[in-house]
């Protein structure tokens, strides 16, 4: 069970109801639950959609799934008219190593996800919303299922919601173990009962998505933010954050810190402060070696690169990404080679295998690093790894290939010396036990 | 789609908007490499080989998924692109075995070619490659996993193309693998297998040597073969098959059949028979010496001279003593047009009989007569791939006309064609049908009548009256309709259906039959009551006047054997047919008949012969054949076998031995007279029409009596509908010929008197008449099927 | 009454599957969850499970196998009554994930994907399970256990051995 943490610097918007038993529908309603959706409906059938989208645009909310795409804009891409039904799809596949924020939302505030889904539905004119949780989140799925059932029981979901004359249904869905299924088009494939292989884009989901209908896909946190934004107003929300990065977001700080946990900080909050003040600094007073700032896909920052604001743009300038907001902290004792190997093992294991550069590239980087780490490396291995990663970058069918290549490049470029030490035999570790092929039997 | 202008590598190009960049470039002569892209199959963008630089795009784009747009500017061969492709190849080669020297695909491998082009041969991995044993998925399909580059062509070919779905993709990441539909643990021998139509299309589609053919694997190297494109001898679709031929001690043998040059009428397609069932030629029981029955009743080998002399003189005797009408002639469905024509001409003019027939697998006489006088109403095989709407009445193309089935599926998939299927059986093509109508047993006639407006026929046409009427209305609403008719419909029923179809202005027709030249046999007049081109006796037609053929119709197939039973048949001459087995004739019937048979094997019919002349098969001769649709194609000699002769040559030799005037039978050399028709007086009008015609068409006279083209010339000159284009034929293209029976010549009287002798072969994908019995591969496949069936029934019983 | 005669599933599961096949715009959408729930009941995705699910969703068995083999939580061989899944991904690794895995291996006497002879436990090293901030973490039959120490693990295993463990299936 996640232990909730808190810190004075936190600005509690999404986490407002955490720890107050808001999974209970009455409690949720008591805490202004389902008010946002009613506020939207009160705008009246003509203005509602426009009002929601404008508010979301004003809020400056950018996707919390990793790419940071402006949410209001995304919603506005959905065509008003469509033969095929439109859908809202909530991405709760949360599988990016270092990320566990959606976990807390599903646990502490499931109705916010439902209400957010309804709001997105009203915005784009969808009658059905899907909430997809990764298979490992079975206990959270049960919480969501109960929340949905309660919402139906209260008549919040189903026919004629809140007297709007509009119907809205929510269906919860379980995955079965696949990081790649978090990629929006692979997510739709999975929801359609297929292998989690991405789709060719264009067409984009907003035009041709689930079952061929226009579809808005958003991360669970993005969706859960919507009700709060409608209630507090777009501008007010935007103000909390930094330039072009509205509001707050949940940062999961993990690894070598004194007080790991999920904290809600304003966008643009300083990374160094987040580690040293919010999370209580490096564990056991050790020295900081490096930080992976936004989930395992983000290029590593060295100890002296972390004086930077936590928003999509500043992180980009710093040569890395805000990603999923999962901040992983590494102290001086960590072997970067081992860390890099463990990271590539993950991507090798999660590659869907569809396209050559990712399927083969992750495999060969893994093989090479495994050997280097075990002390069997040759000098050209480092260049080979870099060559492989550089040739995956931007060449794969979906961004997973990049997600594997970018951190790898970060490690070999910023910590090349360590790799050379391994090759020179100055350091040899017992071979790292690696996740063998968990997939199928063959 | 309006055209758009765009620039590729500095060249100004134009193409319809929405055309895929890779296709647009190809038609402009700019080749963009690709492994996963395959025209006509769904897009993958998986191999990343086709990456190109499109201006204003941040990343390299895949040409296989990028539609051309106005003003687009594209680079297809920059250093950046070359590097991207090189890296992709290096990644592939990391695990790809370098066993090219022994790989079947060596020399024909797209990976090899690309590696050569982008110089990615240097693999810098220290780790061992993952090895896997080769798997035998079926007698004809082998899978070598490490060679597989996961382009998914086979999977799409099998699913989208064949509608079989026997191949899938399993696991993920670097352990992804192509998997067949019978997993090891579900199979009696604990090995994975494919339960499918064994078409081998997956093998053709495979860009490397991951999928290989059971008949060809490790046999030879591509460059050690001669490749001869000819026509498959099996069904009536007439696919082009490219035979790989290797010389041997006693001739040259076929080692491979495939469809590498996709230039034929069949485009990409080839079924298992066209691909594998050429092996009958090498069967151990092949007859390679003439045999003559001796006084003691045994067949003994003799020289060609002796055999022909014996056959010829005896036939002559019997003709002279008992009359030509006492002799019967039966031809085959795998003869060339030239041979079929020659055979009936020989029967009519040398023997002097109309007792001539062949194993009819569809009622082409009625077909021709029902359409007589119309123009542009007969469909070509090509139409099955492009018509917006198709009505299929009877037949089972999936099993009996695989190319037709393939084309119909493609038409539905690529052109959204509407296919209407009416059948007494639930044939597989119903899966592509917009509407499937289950007809009552024997309901075809009633159905035809119902369509033609006879409401009373409804009840006997189909059980479901609503479905029936809905079906009719849908069909009638079509303006451009291709009507494909199975051999179940004959005579009056067939006529009725065609009459209905003719009320739809844009309707075209085709009558499906079995065997490569069933249509040709009928067109060429292997019939007792019709001259070639369905010209009736006594009609005012050069054919009738040029031949001194007997005026009265002769005995048909059954009539011939009835006559034999009554001891009235003095002799029977069978060329490439097995009527004894086909029509279950009591061998005793022929005890007093002198029987001459031209055959490859000791069939039930050959076993009764007094003289057996070893015949060449279609792959060992040249000429032309006509498929079910009336598409004429050239047959090219691929293989050779010592000791056998073409049926053409044997007919001529026998005619010669019978004392016939050979130049009259086969117009060759100077012909009959030097007179080119200009002479006045006594001889005028008696000019050698053939010679005149040749000059008129500036063709040279043929020099040899054994040259099939001499007869082709006559066919073109005399047979209605066979006004063919030489260039088309010789360049290996197909050309569509309208059926004959020119209006005015059709004799309505006696029509009803014709009896229905159509006997469909009902071949499956793994049988091919008598010939199929001698194909080891087809036998293996039948066994394989049987085992699969047994296994699966056992399995279902188990759970 | 199940949509499938002589179903291999319990009446409850069969009824649940009947419903599941009806709630989506397209039947096939039920495939992934169905496979997972079937595995929860049967212990693994057996050939019989594949056959019945294919029948329920009008799919080829091949389709089902293609999908089944893609998802890492689905297995085609039986696991233990309690499936112990230890995360060793980065956040857990930094806080001793591998020590926890090794400890489990030692205590259970089995390796990755192994099953104890008595069939009570099976062990798996898994990728990030979304408990990074409470690392090191593991799941036993879907129930999360975090901030693990070897002592905590011993105690947990005992609880499950005594059949008092939580099962959130
Ligand atoms: C390999 C890969 C994995 C992803 N995993 C997730 C995920 O687990 N959860 C998520 O919300 N987004 C994930 N994403 C991002 C989604 O594709 C998509 O951008 C996001 O859900 C959009 O929602 P947002 O705009 O609210 O961020 C992933 C992307 C990639 C390429
Ligand atoms: S990059 Fe290619 S192989 Fe990797 S996950 Fe995406 S599509 Fe699959
Ligand atoms: S790294 Fe172990 S739970 Fe995320």
pLDDT value at residue B116: 86
Q: How far apart are CA C123 and CA B32, in angstroms?
A: 49
In the sheet with A288-292, reading across from the earlier edge strand, the strands are: A261-266, A248-255, A326-331, A288-292, A301-302
- Whether chain A has a CB inside 8 Å of the CB on B63: the answer is no
Interface pTM (ipTM) of the complex?
Answer: 0.94
Beta-carbon contacts of residue B191 (< 8 Å; ≥ 6 apart): B135, B136, B184
pLDDT value at residue B671: 59
**Could you tell me how many residues make up chain C?**
169
Q: At what angle do helices B444-451 and B491-502 cross, to 10 degrees?
A: 30
CB B366 within 8 A of CB B490: yes
What residue in C sits closest to B183 (Cα-Cα)? C62
Q: Which chains touch A (3 or more CB pairs under 8 A)?
A: B, C
Which of B569, B700, B710 is closest to B652 using CA atoms?
B710
Cα angle for residues B543, B549, B554 (degrees, 5° grid): 115
Q: How far apart are CA C129 and CA C124, in angstroms?
A: 12
Mutate to test the pocket of ligand 1, among A64, A65, A217 (most ligand atoms within 8 A of CB): A65
Residue B750, burial from CB neighbour count under 10 angstroms (0-12, 13-18, 19+): exposed
| Chain Cα centroid distance, residue A136 | 16
pLDDT value at residue B540: 82
Buried b (16+ CB within 10 A) or exposed e, B34-56: bbbbbeebeebbbbbbbbbbbee
**Residue nearest ligand 1's atom 17 by CA:** A183
Ligand 3 atom with the smallest distance to the CA of C97 is: 2
pLDDT value at residue B794: 59
- Please give the torsion angle defined by the CA atoms of residues B304, B309, B315 and B317, in that order, rounded to the nearest 10 degrees: -170
CB A74 within 8 A of CB A59: no
A295-313 pLDDT per residue, tens: 999 999 999 999 999 999 9
Q: Which chains touch B (3 or more CB pairs under 8 A)?
A: A, C
pLDDT along chain B (799 residues), means of 10: 92 95 96 96 96 96 96 96 95 87 84 87 72 89 95 97 97 96 93 94 94 79 82 96 88 85 90 93 94 95 97 97 97 97 97 96 94 93 98 97 97 97 97 97 96 95 96 97 97 95 96 96 95 88 82 93 96 97 94 97 97 97 96 95 96 97 89 47 56 89 94 94 88 82 50 74 91 93 87 56
CA B745, B751, B755, B759 torsion-angle sign: positive
What does the DSSP 8-state code read for residue B97?
-
Question: What is the CA(A356)–ligand 2 centre distance, in A?
Answer: 8
> Nearest CB to B169: which of C60, C61, C66?
C66
Q: How far apart are CA A33 and CA A39, in angstroms?
A: 11
pLDDT at A432 over 90: no
> What DSSP line would sit under B494-553, residue for residue?
HHHHHHHHHTSTT-EEEE--SSTTHHHHHHTT-SSS-BGGGBPTT-SSHHHHHS---SS-
Q: How far apart are CA A113 and CA A141, in angstroms?
A: 12
CB B462 within 8 A of CB B440: yes
Cα angle for residues B543, B546, B552 (degrees, 5° grid): 70
Question: How close A210 gets to chain B, by Cα (Å)?
Answer: 18
Question: What is the CA(C135)–ligand 3 centre distance, in A?
Answer: 6
Q: How far apart are CA A38 and CA A34, in angstroms?
A: 7
What does the DSSP 8-state code read for residue B399?
H
Mutate to test the pocket of ligand 1, among A57, A100, A182 (most ligand atoms within 8 A of CB): A182
Residue A406 phi, psi dihedral angles, 5° rounding: -60, -55
Q: Beta strand pairing status for B418-423 and B135-136?
A: unpaired
pLDDT at A258 over 50: yes
CB A127 within 8 A of CB A167: yes
> Nearest CB to C62: which of B168, B172, B185?
B168
Mean pLDDT taken over chain A: 95
Instruction: Assess whether the C-beta atom of A63 lies below 6 angstroms from ligand 1.
Output: yes
pLDDT value at residue B537: 84
Beta-carbon contacts of residue A160 (< 8 Å; ≥ 6 apart): A166, A167
Mean pLDDT, residues A62-72 taken together: 97
Which residues in chain A are closer than 8 Å to B37, comparing Cβ atoms?
Answer: none
A95-141 pLDDT per residue, tens: 999 999 999 999 999 999 999 999 999 999 999 999 999 999 999 99
CA atoms within 13 A on the CB side of B1: 14
- Whether chain C has a CB inside 8 Å of the CB on B172: the answer is yes
Q: At what angle do helices C97-108 and C150-161 cross, to 10 degrees?
A: 40
Residue with tokens 């088009």: A185
Q: How far apart are CA B599 and CA B617, in angstroms?
A: 9
Residues of chain C with pLDDT under 50: none
Which of A105, A355, A62 is closest to A218 using CA atoms?
A62
The kind and range of the H/E element at B328 are strand B327-331
- Radius of gyration, alpha carbons of chain C: 18
Q: How far apart are CA B761 and CA B569, in angstroms?
A: 27
Q: How far apart are CA B202 and CA B158, in angstroms?
A: 7
Residue with tokens 């030489």: B726
Count CB-CB contacts under 10 A for residue A192: 17
pLDDT value at residue A442: 31
Buried b (16+ CB within 10 A) or exposed e, C47-60: bebbbbbbebbebe
> Mind spelling out the 3-state secondary structure of chain A?
CCCCCCCCCCCCCHHHHCCCCCCCHHHHHHCCCCHHHHHHHHCHHHHHHHHHHHHHHHHCCECCCCCCCEHHHHHHCCCCCCCCCCEEEEEECCCCCCCCHHHHHHHHCHHHHHHHHHHHHHHHCCCEEEEEECCCCHHHHHHHHHHHHHHHHCCCCECCHHHCCCCEEEEEEECCCCHHHHCHHHHHHHHCCCCCCCCCCCCCCCCCCHHHCCEEEEEHHHHHHHHHHHHHCHHHHHHHCECCECCEEEEEEEECECCCEEEEEECCCEHHHHHHHHCCCEHHHCCEEEEEECECCCCCEEHHHCCCECCHHHHHHCCCCCCCCEEEEEECCCCHHHHHHHHHHHHHHHCCCCCHHHHHHHHHHHHHHHHHHCCCCCHHHHHHHHHHHHHHCCCCCCCHHHHHHHHHHHHHHHCHHHHHHHHCCCCCCCCCCCCCCCCCCC
In the sheet with B135-136, reading across from the earlier edge strand, the strands are: B135-136, B141-143, B211-213
User: What is the reported pTM?
Assistant: 0.92
Q: How far apart are CA B244 and CA B248, in angstroms?
A: 13
Which of A394, A392, A403, A418 is closest to A344 using CA atoms?
A403
What does the DSSP 8-state code read for residue B440?
P
Residue B146 phi, psi dihedral angles, 5° rounding: -60, -25
Residue B618 phi, psi dihedral angles, 5° rounding: -60, -30
Which of A107, A108, A121 is closest to A156 using CA atoms?
A121
Residue with tokens 């006693």: B250
Instruction: Record the tokens describing residue B455, joined without a space.
Output: 């409401």
CA atoms within 13 A on the CB side of B553: 19
Instruction: Assess whether the C-beta atom of A224 lies below 6 angstroms from ligand 1.
Output: no
What does the DSSP 8-state code read for residue B20?
B
Q: How far apart are CA A101 and CA A251, in angstroms?
A: 7
CB B717 within 8 A of CB B693: yes
Count CB-CB contacts under 10 A for residue B441: 8
Which residues in chain A are closer than 8 Å to B60, comparing Cβ atoms?
Answer: 394-395
Contact C60 B165 (CB under 8 A): yes
Which residues in chain A are closer than 8 Å to C146, comparing Cβ atoms?
Answer: 1-2
> Nearest CB to A254: which of C74, C132, C169?
C132
pLDDT value at residue B743: 57
pLDDT value at residue A429: 65
CB A257 within 8 A of CB A329: yes
pLDDT value at residue B95: 82
Question: How close C6 gets to chain A, by Cα (Å)?
Answer: 24
Question: How close C20 gets to chain A, by Cα (Å)?
Answer: 10
What residue in B sits closest to A372 (Cα-Cα)? B126
Which residues in chain C are closer than 8 Å to B169, comparing Cβ atoms?
Answer: 66
Which of B724, B664, B674, B720 is closest to B695 using CA atoms?
B674
pLDDT value at residue B797: 43
Max Cα–Cα distance, chain A, nearest Å? 73
DSSP-based three-state secondary structure for B469: helix
What does the DSSP 8-state code read for residue B193?
B
CA atoms within 13 A on the CB side of B217: 17
């Amino acid at each position: 069970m996640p232990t909730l943490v808190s810190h004075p610097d936190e600005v509690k918007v999404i986490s407002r109801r955490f720890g107050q038993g808001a999974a209970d529908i009455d409690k949720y309603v008591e805490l202004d639950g389902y008010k946002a959706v009613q506020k939207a409906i009160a705008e009246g059938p003509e203005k509602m959609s426009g009002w929601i989208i404008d508010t979301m645009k004003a809020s400056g909310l950018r996707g919390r799934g990793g790419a940071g795409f402006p949410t209001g804009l995304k919603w506005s891409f959905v065509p008003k008219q469509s033969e095929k039904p439109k859908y809202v799809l909530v991405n709760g596949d949360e599988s990016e190593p270092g990320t566990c924020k959606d976990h807390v939302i599903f646990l502490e505030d499931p109705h916010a996800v439902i209400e957010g889904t309804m709001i997105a539905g009203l915005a784009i004119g969808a009658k059905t919303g899907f909430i997809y949780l990764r298979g490992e989140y079975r206990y959270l799925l049960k919480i969501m299922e109960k929340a949905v059932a309660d919402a139906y029981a209260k008549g919040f979901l189903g026919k004629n919601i809140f007297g709007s004359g509009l119907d809205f249904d929510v269906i919860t869905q379980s995955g079965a173990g696949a990081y790649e299924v978090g990629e929006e088009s692979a997510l739709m494939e999975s929801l359609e009962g297929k292998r989690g292989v991405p789709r060719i884009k264009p067409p984009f989901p907003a035009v041709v998505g689930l079952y061929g209908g226009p579809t808005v896909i958003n991360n669970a946190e993005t969706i859960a933010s919507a009700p709060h934004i409608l209630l507090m107003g777009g501008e007010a929300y935007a103000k909390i954050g930094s330039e072009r990065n509205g509001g707050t977001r949940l940062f999961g700080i993990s690894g070598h810190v004194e007080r790991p946990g999920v904290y809600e900080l304003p966008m643009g909050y300083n990374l160094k402060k987040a580690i040293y003040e919010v999370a209580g600094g490096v564990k056991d007073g050790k020295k900081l070696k490096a930080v992976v700032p936004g989930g395992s896909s983000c290029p590593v920052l060295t100890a002296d690169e972390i004086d930077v604001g936590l928003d999509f743009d500043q992180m980009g300038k710093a040569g890395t990404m805000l990603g999923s907001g999962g901040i992983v902290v590494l102290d001086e004792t960590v072997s970067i080679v081992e860390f890099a190997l463990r990271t590539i093992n993950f991507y090798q294991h999660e590659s869907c295998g569809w396209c050559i550069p990712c399927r083969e590239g992750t495999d060969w980087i893994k093989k090479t690093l495994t050997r280097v780490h075990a002390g069997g490396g040759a000098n050209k291995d480092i260049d080979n790894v870099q060559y492989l990663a550089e040739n995956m970058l931007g060449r794969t069918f979906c961004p997973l290939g990049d997600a594997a290549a970018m951190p790898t490049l970060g490690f070999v470029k910023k910590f090349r010396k360590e790799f050379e030490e391994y090759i020179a035999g100055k350091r040899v570790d017992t071979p790292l036990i690696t996740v063998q092929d968990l997939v199928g039997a063959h | 789609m309006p055209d758009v202008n765009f620039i590729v590598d500095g060249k100004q190009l134009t193409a319809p908007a929405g055309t895929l960049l890779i296709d647009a470039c190809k038609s402009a002569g700019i080749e963009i490499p690709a492994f996963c892209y395959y025209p006509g199959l769904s897009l993958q963008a998986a191999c990343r080989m086709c990456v190109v630089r499109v201006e204003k795009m941040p990343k390299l784009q895949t040409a296989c998924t990028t539609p051309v747009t106005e003003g687009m500017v594209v680079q297809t061969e920059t250093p950046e692109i070359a590097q991207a492709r090189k890296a992709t190849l290096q990644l592939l080669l990391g695990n790809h075995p370098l066993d090219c020297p022994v790989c079947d695909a060596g020399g024909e491998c797209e990976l090899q070619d690309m590696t050569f082009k982008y110089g990615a041969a240097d693999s810098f991995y220290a780790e061992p490659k993952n090895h896997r044993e080769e798997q035998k998925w079926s007698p004809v399909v082998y899978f070598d996993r490490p060679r597989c580059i996961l382009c998914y062509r086979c999977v799409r070919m099998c699913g989208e193309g064949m509608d079989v779905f026997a191949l899938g993709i399993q696991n993920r990441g670097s352990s992804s693998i192509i998997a067949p539909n019978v997993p090891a643990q579900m199979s009696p021998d604990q090995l994975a297998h494919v339960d499918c139509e064994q078409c081998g299309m997956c093998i053709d589609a495979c860009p490397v040597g991951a999928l290989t053919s059971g008949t060809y694997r490790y046999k030879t190297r591509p460059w050690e073969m001669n490749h001869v494109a000819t026509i498959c001898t099996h069904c009536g679709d007439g696919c082009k098959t490219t035979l790989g031929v290797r010389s041997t001690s006693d001739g040259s043998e076929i080692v491979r059949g495939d469809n590498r040059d996709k230039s034929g009428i069949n485009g990409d397609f080839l079924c298992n028979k066209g691909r594998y069932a050429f092996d009958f030629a090498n069967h151990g029981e092949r007859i390679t010496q003439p045999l003559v029955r001796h006084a003691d009743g045994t067949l003994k080998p003799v020289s060609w001279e002796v055999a022909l002399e014996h056959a010829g003189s005896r036939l002559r005797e019997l003709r002279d003593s008992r009359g030509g009408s006492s002799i019967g002639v039966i031809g085959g469905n795998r003869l060339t047009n030239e041979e079929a024509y020659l055979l009936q001409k020989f029967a009519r003019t040398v023997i002097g009989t109309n007792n001539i027939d062949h194993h009819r697998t569809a009622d082409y006489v009625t077909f021709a007569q029902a359409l007589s006088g119309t123009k542009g109403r007969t469909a070509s095989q090509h139409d099955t791939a492009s018509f917006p709407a198709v009505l299929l009445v009877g037949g089972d193309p999936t099993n009996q006309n695989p190319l037709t089935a393939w084309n119909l599926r493609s038409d539905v998939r690529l052109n959204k064609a509407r296919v209407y299927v009416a059948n007494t059986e639930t044939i597989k093509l119903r899966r592509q049908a917009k509407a499937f109508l289950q007809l009552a047993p024997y309901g075809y006639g009633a159905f035809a009548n119902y369509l033609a407006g006879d409401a009373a026929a409804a009840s006997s046409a189909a059980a479901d009256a609503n479905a029936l009427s809905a079906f009719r209305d849908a069909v009638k609403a079509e303006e451009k309709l291709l009507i494909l008719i199975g051999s179940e419909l004959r005579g009056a029923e067939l006529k009725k259906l065609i009459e209905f179809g003719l009320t739809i202005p844009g309707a075209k027709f085709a009558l499906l039959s079995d065997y490569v030249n069933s249509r040709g046999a009928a067109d060429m007049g292997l019939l007792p009551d019709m001259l070639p081109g369905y010209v009736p006796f006594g009609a005012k037609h050069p054919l009738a006047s040029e031949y001194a053929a007997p005026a009265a119709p002769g005995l048909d197939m059954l009539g011939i054997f009835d006559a034999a039973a009554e001891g009235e048949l003095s002799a029977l001459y069978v060329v490439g047919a097995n009527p004894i087995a086909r029509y279950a004739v009591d061998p005793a019937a022929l005890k007093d008949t002198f029987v001459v048979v031209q055959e490859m094997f000791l069939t039930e019919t050959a076993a009764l012969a007094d003289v057996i002349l070893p015949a060449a098969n279609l792959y060992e001769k040249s000429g032309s054949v006509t498929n079910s649709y009336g598409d004429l194609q050239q047959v090219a000699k691929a293989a050779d076998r010592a000791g056998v002769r073409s049926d053409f040559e044997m007919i001529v030799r026998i005619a010669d031995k019978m004392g016939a005037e050979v130049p009259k039978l086969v117009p060759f050399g100077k012909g009959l007279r030097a007179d080119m028709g200009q002479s006045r007086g006594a001889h005028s009008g008696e000019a050698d029409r053939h010679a005149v015609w040749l000059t008129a068409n500036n063709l040279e006279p043929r020099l040899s009596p054994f040259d099939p083209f001499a007869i082709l010339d006559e066919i073109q000159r005399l047979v209605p509908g066979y006004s063919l284009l030489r260039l088309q034929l010789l360049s290996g293209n197909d050309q569509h010929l309208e059926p004959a029976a020119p209006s005015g010549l059709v004799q309505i009287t006696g029509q009803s008197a014709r009896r229905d002798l159509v006997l469909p072969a009902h071949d499956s994908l793994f049988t091919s008449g008598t010939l199929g019995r001698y194909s080891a591969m087809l036998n293996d496949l039948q066994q394989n099927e049987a085992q699969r069936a047994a296994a699966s029934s056992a399995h279902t019983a188990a759970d | 009454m199940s949509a499938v005669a002589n179903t291999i599933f319990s009446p409850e599961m069969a009824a649940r599957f009947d419903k599941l096949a009806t709630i989506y715009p397209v039947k096939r959408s039920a495939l992934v969850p169905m496979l997972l729930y079937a595995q929860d009941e049967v212990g693994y995705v057996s050939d019989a499970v594949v056959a019945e699910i294919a029948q329920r969703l009008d799919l080829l068995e091949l389709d089902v196998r293609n999908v089944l083999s893609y998802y890492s939580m689905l297995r085609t061989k039986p696991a233990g009554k309690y499936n112990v899944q230890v995360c060793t991904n980065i956040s857990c690794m930094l806080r001793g994930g591998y020590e926890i895995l090794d400890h489990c291996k030692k205590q259970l006497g089995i390796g990755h994907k192994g099953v104890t002879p008595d069939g009570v436990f099976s062990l798996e090293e898994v990728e990030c399970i979304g408990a990074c901030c409470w690392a090191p973490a593991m799941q036993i039959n879907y129930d999360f256990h975090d901030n693990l120490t070897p002592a905590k693990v011993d105690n947990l295993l005992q609880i499950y051995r005594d059949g008092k463990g939580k099962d959130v299936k």
